[in-house]
Each structure stands twice: as structure tokens, then as C-alpha cells.
Structure 1
């Protein structure tokens, strides 16, 4: 009986998520013109979604040339999303990060390599056991040059793996900063069970794969 209830609940959840992702409002977001964020004080910004933002924030903060990473929500059709609202799958948003970086040290192209190289690129609507449209993979572009970089790398990866790459490609519209308690979560809560068992292992797999991209330890 419990298995039947669980199966029904999962089916209902995915139906809600699919409706949110395929709604007219969501299609309008996908078909919008991208908004370009201007460079400020020599720093550019890039936006990525790839599962739990606690994990993704820690990965990008380990990359040299990255000044700061902020956890938040992007890709949806509602304003002022919250953690609770995004978890329903009805907002269209995914847990995302804003990567603030020095383009003289690290390029957008390299940040895209970090993106594809730090996740299960074939998993749809989630990463690992974090399942749902709020955990889906989205990579955001701000102009045609960025879009071309993303599409070429995605196509090359699909050919290399002979598999469909799950990451959606969206024009960037707006990033909504997450609640304060989500920021720097992995660094501030190293003994949290999720951090110990999911976030840190994922970070360590990335570090082992891309040692040349890592910041020098102080």
C-alpha cells in the first residue's frame, strides 16, 4: 500500500512539474529575448542551474577567477519566488546560482565547462536523489555569443557520450536571490548530513576532475 501511495505521489508531483514547465507562461520565458547584465567594477555575471544550489555554489566558488557565488532562483514565470514556492514545481523556477567572476582570469567558456563537468549531464529534472523541476539543469545565456558557446559544447558532449544532454538552454531574464540561510550553506554547515554525504562528495569529484581550475589554497 505504501508503495502504491508513493508511486501515486511521485506521478502527481511530476505531472505538476511538467505542467509548470510546459505552460504558456513558461514557454514565453523560453522564447524571450535575453537580458545582458553589464560588467560592474570589472566583474561579469553568469547564471547556472544544476541541482541543489548548495552544491553548485560550492563548486563555482572553488574556481579561480570567481569572486562570489550567490544562491537563488531563475528560469520561472513568477515574481519573488521563495524556497517553499519553488519546491512545489509550479513557479517554473530552478535552484540557480549567480556567478560573479573576473573575465580576465576565467572565461564564460570555462564556466560552461565547469557546468557540464560537475553534474550528471543526462539526468532529467534533477541531480542524484534531488528530483523535481526545481532541480533541473538550465544554462542561461545573455547574448548570441554565449548561446553559441553553450550550444556547441552541448552538441559536442552529446556526440561524445552518444546521449541526450538534459540541460535546458534559456535566455537569461532575472535572478532572484534566495533566502539568507541558503547562502554559503556548505561552508557554514560542514556537518550537515546532506552536505557531508552529497555536497562535499560532489565538490571533491569536481576538484579531482579539474585541478587546473582550482583556486590556490591560502
Structure 2
């Protein structure tokens, strides 16, 4: 059993909605990440306490993934609205995802990075460790069950539809080392897990320019699109930018008496390659030099079938 804490406006509707999702064991309405002890509803609403109305979600991770719960969460919030959801205004109604486990952070950041692709405005959803959580007063718990006609910024239809939501699309996670050794070739394992470099001009994608998307071979997280790929003459796949920089990590690399910037996938922590500043000026001046062995290519015509439909608009047809 795992827990995640979600702030998405008034907790009455949020709690009813998540109570209906298969795999959710229980929920509590409460106040998270504030500055007082044992806050009351009145203090949260009328004082600068820093709390957000939040629900605690206890879920069976064998029945439902955190990635799917976040997908459901995004469907009932306005992620670019600041301190407001529906008719409720104030910092206590801000949106936020608060986690207990460090490994959940990368899943959350990856989900937010994918969500950002759908919006021009910057997301206003917080991603922070849980500092504190205080259950709300009893009359707030499962409020809409007790008061079916009570106010809710989430439609009754949306709340009811949560009962039938199924996790059918791909969810991203990193397999354990034993599974990786079975799934990956020897070269793919050496590159992604031990930071090796494949030979130039002797890899599958260095001169590959078909339309589609390149994903992390260890987690299937989308990383690059074909529109950002260019021929750099270096013998490895070169991209002007990732789909979103939140999907990767850039680390100092001083190996082999060189100063370079290593690129790793955020969720899978797989070694991808390096980024250099000698890329085309018209494309931003960067060159992400990536090992083919770190990537899996999904052609445009198969992206929907493979679960990457949301990324199709990024590719110029």
C-alpha cells in the first residue's frame, strides 16, 4: 500500500472522485504543507497558514499505478490556474502533489513534463515532499456522501465516471536490474547501466530520419522527436533538444580527462550520452549526442497504437 497527497481545490469533490477509482483503498480530506499545528478549517480559510486543502490517497500499487492516479488527477484540475479551482479562490485551493517516497518524485516530474506539453502557460501544480498533513474535521470527511446536493467544482458526471476508469495505456517505470539484463542486449545494458559509449557510425539510429518518437529503452519514457534530430556528422544520433528538459538530468562528467555534461533519463536514470554547445545556431546551439543503444524508436504510424498519441501533434507531418 502506498500513499500520495493531492491538492486540487475543494477537497469535497476530490475525495468523492478518488473514492471511486479502482485500486484506491481509502482517502482522507485534510490540510497539507502549512505552518501551524492542528489547523482548523477556519484558520486555513482566513489566515496565511500556508496549508492547501488536500486529500490523502491510500492505494494498492498492484492494482493501480501512481502514474494512472496522476492522470486521473489532471483530468479534474485546471493545472495552470494559480490559487483557484472552480469558484474557490485562495492559496488553500492551489494545486499540488505531495509525496512521501523519493522514487515517486521522478514519476510525478515525468507526468508533469508530459502535461506541460499540452499547455502554453506554465503549470501551477506544486511538486514537493509532504511536510505535514492534518485530517480535516469529521464533517468534511466524505462530505458529498453525507450531502449529495453539496457544492462541488467537479461535475457529478466526472465523479461517477471514475468508477469505470481503467489503466489501459502504458505506464512508465524502471524494471529491476535482473529484468533489464533479460530485456536489453549486452550493448544496451552496458551503455544505459554502466555508462559505456557505442561505436560511431555503427549504431542503428545515427543516420535514421524517419518520422516518429525516440523513447528511453529502459522505461519507454518519451525523450526526443524526429523533428529535432539533425545530421551532425559525429556518427551518433544528434538532437537539438529533448521533448522536455524535465525528462532528463544533466550531470558534470570529468571522466577521461575531459569536462563534459552527461545526459541521463530522469525516471530510469539511464545513461543517454552528452550535450555539447556546438549544435546549429538556428536550432538553439545545442547538440544532444545520444547513444542509439539508449533509445527505442516508435514510428509515427505506430505511435497511437503504442500509447504515444498525445505526442503526435509535436511531429510535423
Name the TM-score, length of structure 2 as normaliser.
Answer: 0.50
Mapped partners of 1:56, 1:204: distance in 2 = 13
- 1:211 shift after superposition: 3.8
Aligned to 1:149: 107
Aligned to 2:197: none
Is 1:135 matched with 2:96? no
Mapped partners of 1:158, 1:94: distance in 2 = 22
Mapped partners of 2:47, 2:128: distance in 1 = 17
Mapped partners of 1:103, 1:72: distance in 2 = 22
**Structure 1 163/210 Cα, relative in aligned 2: closer, same or farther at 3 Å?**
farther
Aligned to 1:117: 75
Q: Which of the residues 20, 32, 37 maps onto 1:74? A: 32
- 1:148 shift after superposition: 0.9
**Structure 1 89/146 Cα, relative in aligned 2: closer, same or farther at 3 Å?**
farther
- 1:65 shift after superposition: 0.6
Is 1:213 matched with 2:171? no
> Do the aligned residues in 2 keep the contact of 1:89 with 1:133 (CA within 8 Å)?
no
Aligned to 1:10: none
Which structure 2 residue ranges, 5 or more long, are not aligned? 168-317
1:12-44 C-alpha deviation (Å, 9 max, x unpaired): xxxxxxxxxxxxxxxxxxxxxxxxxxxxxxx22
Mapped partners of 1:151, 1:174: distance in 2 = 21
- 1:161 shift after superposition: 2.1
Mapped partners of 1:117, 1:79: distance in 2 = 32
- 1:174 shift after superposition: 2.0
Is 1:189 matched with 2:142? no
Q: Mark the structure with the bigger radius of gyration.
A: 2
Tell which has more relative contact order, 1 or 2 (C-alpha 8 A, sep 6+). 1
Report how many residues are paired.
167
| Structure having the larger proportion of residues in strand | 2
- 1:109 shift after superposition: 1.6
Mapped partners of 1:182, 1:210: distance in 2 = 22
- 1:110 shift after superposition: 1.4
Mapped partners of 1:153, 1:110: distance in 2 = 10
RMSD: 1.9
Which structure 1 residue ranges, 5 or more long, are not aligned? 1-42
